[in-house]
Structure 1
Amino acid sequence: MTRVLLTDDQPLVRHGLRVLIADHPRLEVAGEAANGEETVRLADQLSPDVVMMDIRMPGMDGIEATRRITASCSTPPKVLILTTFDDEYVYGALRAGASGFLVKDMDMDQILTAIETVAAGDALIAPSVTRRLIAEFAARPAAVAPPRPVEGITAREREVLTLVGRGLSNAEIASHLHISIATAKAHVSRLLTKLDARDRVQLVIMAYELRLVTAPRG
């Protein structure tokens, strides 16, 4: 059973998510919080598997709460950001340690699938959504950093890292490189280990910061 901590300053949003999760046989609501401070406290007390985190909240915002949760817990929960396409804080939230993001107007089934996907450790969710959000934060000044050499990875792993940065799923990477899905997954796993990346979202960020991928134009 995947235990979820709901965080949003709007009671109606939390209620809707609670009702949605209550009907799922493999998910349960571990608790609810209305602000960042409460989220950090409950994450420590309740040890949820996933925290659904709103970014814009009074007091401590979702970015700072995410940073504290991922830094303070020995086995931190996955943080799933609740956002909108025009949210200017997406990149900061991912840098703070978020494992994925949800768009608030997604279909209910997609939200439930996203929670399970992130809980299972695959942070890349809804590739079509991912690509659009990646383009948003990659185009921002905060995302621009001097490129550094990619050391310790093979030419094939570099290819895979580039494709991960473009928002491709394991199946899409396998098709693009004409390899099996299992092999694509193995390459991604090795990249996580070699680059000391917490999850796939960090690989996406690294791909942009290493200039393997650039934000789409137009």
Structure 2
Amino acid sequence: MGWTVLVVGIHDINHIADTVLVAAEPISQVNKCLLNELYLYMRKHPCSDIILLDSDACQSTAIVRNIVAYINKIWKRTHTFVFGTDNLKHILMAARGGADGYIFLNSSPEEIIKTICHAGKTREFIISDCLLAERQQLNAHQAQLYEGCFSQNLTFREREVLTLLISGLTNNELASKMNISTETARWHVKNILHKLDMRRRSELIARWHQEMHFVTC
């Protein structure tokens, strides 16, 4: 039995629904409803495994938080993702609102599946584009941008951690990659966030993605 996915929005949500349908396995069914019908839909239908929430329907962190809280209350094992354009405000809105991750509208079916699968393995906020293989390595231009934007006051070791961190790696993956303990990796991440005046690693990844989009587009 595959996953059931519910796509929620305020206008045209056919594109993301059709993209998810193409993914097929492990998705077995894709349903759609408008945001103002969500509460009624949840009362009348069986639990969906995944909810994809249109960022245009949210408008604020408070709205995302309320929707996620209600979903978790009624459908306890459901993962909720916000989907939308490459917009830093929307990404941070999703992260601070308690969503499991953010999926870009132009994500391929494979990227969507990777993002959804990864959410079940970590408590960290997931951004779909960060799971692409090409994002795991910084090219020369990215490295230069990284040095200019993020490396202030960081030690050499912290810069190494940061390079992997902005690629979307978890603490366990950081530890394995750098041959250090998970506790040490967690300590480095905590110091980096403190020095860069950020509360969560999701903010760091979102800012990095926004900087890269600004330079490369």
Question: TM-score if structure 2 supplies the norm length?
Answer: 0.56
Larger-gyration structure (1/2) = 2
Greater mean deviation of Cα atoms: 87-96 or 40-49: 40-49
Which residue of structure 2 aligns with residue 114 of structure 1? 115
Aligned to 1:142: none
Matched, 1:12 2:11: no
Aligned counterpart, 1:47: 47
Within the alignment, does 1:127 sit opposite 2:135 as a pair?
no
Shift of 1:105: 1.1
**Deviations 1:168-217 (CA, angstroms, capped at 9, x unpaired):** 414751355314xxx64x888x99xxxxxxxxxxxx89x85349996568
Distance 1:168 1:87, change over 3 A: closer
1:13-66 deviation per Cα after TM superposition (whole angstroms, max 9, x unaligned):
254135324x22x2233531132x223443454322211111113xx6585553
| Paired residue total | 172
Does residue 70 of the first structure (1) align with residue 68 of the second (2)? Answer: yes
Q: Distance in 1 between matches of 2:200 and 2:5?
A: 35
Aligned residue in 2 for 1:209: 198
| Shift >6 Å, 4+ stretches | 128-131, 161-164, 211-214
TM-score, normalised via structure 1 length: 0.56
1:23-42 equivalent positions in 2, closer than 5 A: 23-24=24-25, 26-29=26-29, 31-35=31-35, 37-42=36-41
1:83 is displaced (CA, Å) by: 1.9
Which residue does the alignment assign to 1:56?
A: 56
Answer whether contact 1:31 1:42 (CA < 8 A) is retained: no
Identity %: 13
Structure having the higher helix fraction is 2
CA deviations 1:128-169 (Å, max 9, x no partner) are 6799xxxxxxx9xxxxxxxxxxxxxxxxxx99x978864541
Unaligned runs of 5+ in 1: 132-138, 140-157, 192-203
User: What are the superposed Cα offsets for residues 46-101 of structure 1, whole Å, 9 maximum, x if unpaired?
Assistant: 322211111113xx658555322322333252211112223532212211111111
Label 1:103 to 1:164 Cα distance change in 2 as closer, same or farther (>3 A). same
2:86 is paired with a residue whose SS is coil
Give the distance between the partners of 1:42 and 1:2, measured in 2 at CA: 18
Alpha-carbon RMSD across the aligned residues, in angstroms, is 4.5
Contact between 2:7 and 2:53, CA under 8 Å: does it hold in 1?
A: yes
Query: 2:96 corresponds to which residue?
Result: 95
Specify every segment of 5 or more residues in structure 2 that has no aligned partner in the other structure, as ranges: 137-148, 150-157, 188-192
Letter in structure 2 aligned against 1:106 = S
Structure-2 separation of matches of 1:30 and 1:49: 10
Structure 1 distance, partners of 2:120, 2:66, is 19
Aligned partners of 1:32, 1:128: CA distance in 2, in Å? 26
Preserved CA contact (<8 Å) 1:5 1:33? yes
